[in-house]
Amino acid sequence: MRWSIIILMSLSLACSKKEPAAPAESEQAADTETPAAATPAKPVVELAKELEGETPAAGAPPVLNVLERGQEPRQALRWNIKPGFEQKVSVKVGFSIDAIVAVLRVGDAEYVVSCELTMRAKKVEDDGTVRVAFAVDQANTRKGTLWDNPRGNRLKLALATTRKVTGSYRLGPRGAISDFKMNVPSDANRSGHDMADNLRLALIQMTPTFPKEPLGQGAQWTVHESVNQGGIRVNQLTTMEIVKTEGTRVELAVNVQQSSAPQPFQNPGTALTLALLSSNGMASGSLGWDLTELAPHAANIEASVTKIIRQDPKDPTDPKQKPVEMIVKADRSARITEK
């Protein structure tokens, strides 16, 4: 069976200075439009109490809290994967980056990458934990105005290395993912690392974690955990609700809130260290899973995150070099449709 996964992401960056932007080069890829750059205000977000404290340690198991057990009949929701189970997944990932740094507008036009993945249950332990292996079989994009310029050359190299990405992770019987390993070719450029990291996030974020308790329709619970997004350790609280269950199938409503403490970080594939000053994010949508399979058969998620980032001068003793603060606003949607 094959699924289509669509992840659309728009990212706009704006310097905190109020200088006007210089005219930008006009670029547009097939099927999409490049969003105009903006200077968003610092968001005012009311955080859940779980996000006001310390971010959980990286790799720590998620903390679940059942708010409502739902209607009868109730059942314990567990993955039940057969050894050797294999499926093909079609993934379409779209990106758009638009940036204003000082008086220069920079960024990439939007493009859509289509990836074909093979996912396989390599080993199933006695408690139901599965070692899942995956490999990217194909990665392609339509040729547009982006293709025949320096940015297009970077994209071609990124596609070439993405076709060689492999990895694995442990999927617990209640959905917790751990020991995630991704093998990215050593010659991958920044765009190639971005593609790989967004694939990693898609696999993790679309996999729900279930409580130990039996649950029925209308059940609600929270999952508090630390996640890595673009090199940033994020404090994340996910609220899930069971909309419907039928046999091994479950439909879920999902709401996510994120915050991040100030921290230094490096984007995947770069050696440049930036300073995160603040970050808040929200997401909501729906998921549909068959708990005998390795990928959801339906998903529709809308997400938005706003970050304030500072780039410090290379030589802090040079009075001519000044730190630059940027406001980064990212919007992303993920949709999966069963073919």
- Answer yes or no: is pLDDT of 333 > 90: no
- Tell me how far apart the alpha carbons of residues 12 and 271 are, in angstroms, rounded to a whole number: 22
Averaged pLDDT, 256-276: 91
Tokens of 83: 């050894």
The DSSP bridge pattern shows strands 2-15 and 324-338 to be antiparallel
pLDDT at 195: 85
Which amino acid type is present at position 204? I
- Tell me how far apart the alpha carbons of residues 163 and 281 are, in angstroms, rounded to a whole number: 30
Residue 338 banded pLDDT, cuts 50, 70, 90: low
Tokens of 92: 């379409």
Residue 40 banded pLDDT, cuts 50, 70, 90: very low
Find out whether 210 and 174 touch, Cβ atoms under 8 Å.
yes
Averaged pLDDT, 166-184: 96
Q: Please provide the average confidence, as pLDDT, over all residues in the chain.
A: 81
Averaged pLDDT, 322-329: 82
Identity of the highest mean pLDDT range in 14-23, 56-65, 98-107, 135-144:
56-65
pTM: 0.81
Alpha-carbon Rg for the chain, nearest whole angstrom, is 21
Find out whether 314 and 321 touch, Cβ atoms under 8 Å.
yes
pLDDT at 184: 96
User: What Cα–Cα distance (Å) separates residue 57 from each residue in 150, 154, 262?
Assistant: 40, 35, 15
Please state the domain extents for the chain. 2-338
Averaged pLDDT, 105-116: 64
Residue-wise pLDDT tens digits, 216-246: 999 999 999 999 988 999 999 999 999 999 9
Tokens of 292: 């005998």
The alpha carbon dihedral of 279, 275, 207, 202 has a sign of positive
Which amino acid type is present at position 19? E
Tokens of 114: 């289509």
- Answer yes or no: is pLDDT of 36 > 90: no
pLDDT at 268: 83
- Tell me how far apart the alpha carbons of residues 27 and 145 are, in angstroms, rounded to a whole number: 7
